[in-house]
Structure 1
Amino acid sequence: MMVKEVAELAGISVRTLHHYDEIGLLCPSQTTEAGYRIYSDEDLTQLQQILFFRELDFPLKQIREIVSRPEFKRQEAMELHHKLLLEKRVRLERMIETLEKTMKHEKGEIRMTNQDKFAGFDFSSNPYEQEARERWGDQAVDDSNDRLNKMSPKEQGQLGEEMNAIYRKLAQLRYGSPASDEAQQAIGEWFQMLNRMGNYSLEAFKGLGQMYVDDKRFTRNIDQFGEGLAAFMRDAMAEYADSRRV
């Protein structure tokens, strides 16, 4: 199939396919003498796999790394996609239900408790664990999981409340300088919080801040506390790390 036909079939733009080719993510099996890209059935199967990853918010760079690994098995990937998409559907259905109730609450048709308002928002799971393992090694993540697993449900709930309190504090400061005393004090609390759960060096802390912006899943979750918070935290975390290096 020609590139325009593939774009129409998959519901993406021709420019997207050109970009995939340019970065080595999906290179068509053939190119005519005139320079036209020709996609095979195998190429289309690969494109479907890529779009499943994109639907789950994987960055293009990570998709390329995953599918190019010798040990990559398509069937296993599809089984994982199926599991994650089902989980995503459940989360979306819960959030849609919460949104619909909130709309009725705003109209005075029903009354919601504070607990009702946040049904469907679940930040207790960590979908980025594998990325953390790849960046900083298994030990830091294993230490973090071990510490969390040893906490009681009450302790885990208190930890979540403390984390949200820091998010809200930083959200109030996000229009100021990330290097201000107030911002650095608050981001220092975040650094200490993370190290209660794991072992984060200053370099890892700075790298995590960059991921808050590079990975749109992080950005969406953090910016729920205030638009632009993820970028502000990245800058504040970089300042905190750089100013404390020996």
Structure 2
Amino acid sequence: MYKVKEVANLVGVSVRTLHHYDEIELLQPESITPAGYRLYTNQNLKRLQQILFFKEMGISLQQIKNILDRPDFDQLEALRMHEEMLKKKKSRIDTMIQTVQQSIHALEHGNEMEETEMFKGFDMKEIEEHQKRYAEEVRQTYPNDLVKQSEQKTSQYTAQDWKRIKEETNDIYQAIASHMSQGPDDPEVQRNVARWHQFITNNFYDCSIDIFRGLADLYVADERFTKNIDKHKEGLAVFLSEAMIIYCDEQQK
């Protein structure tokens, strides 16, 4: 366990920042001692690492909270995206160092640099485009009105709310996974698909049948969703997608 000052020294952020993260429920300590000391675990530090990476990408604290608290958040996939972004930044810095060195050499020897050489490394377009794509990725999957609905609802959620949502998500996935041998049209599978449909509406946004059908496609088209769902049981994403399509067809008869 780490006290708040120890975390601040370890990470390089202020105690005040950590207190703020606690207040907005972005990063809450594992426990608070009777003396009032906030105590953080290694798991809390992993979450803080993600927060700092997302901040580096220009994402707001509220958006970071929404991303990290989602039941389908994939930490490994997020780290891979962070790595890609940082490599681009490193490449740009390396190029700028070369430009500085060439400028020094040119001045020392009284030479003129080519105009194109003088500004190598200053072009931020690629990084800015990547940052924009990265920051907006959470929005690209759904229409804007759904994103707004979801953000409006989830911005009010407490850590306890997210715990309940995660538990119910896992419960629904496990219930469907346990009946995979019965086929996607099995009554019990369909009952839990209906439960999943209602769960999304209750907790995130008004999920119409058309949107629900779109999610069925997304679960197999986007490997991040597929991998996350398949953590519960291999092949569950495809099975769930098929079951959701059957459910949608039945609802639209």
TM-score after normalising by structure 2: 0.48
Larger Rg belongs to: 2
The normalised TM-score by structure 1 is 0.49
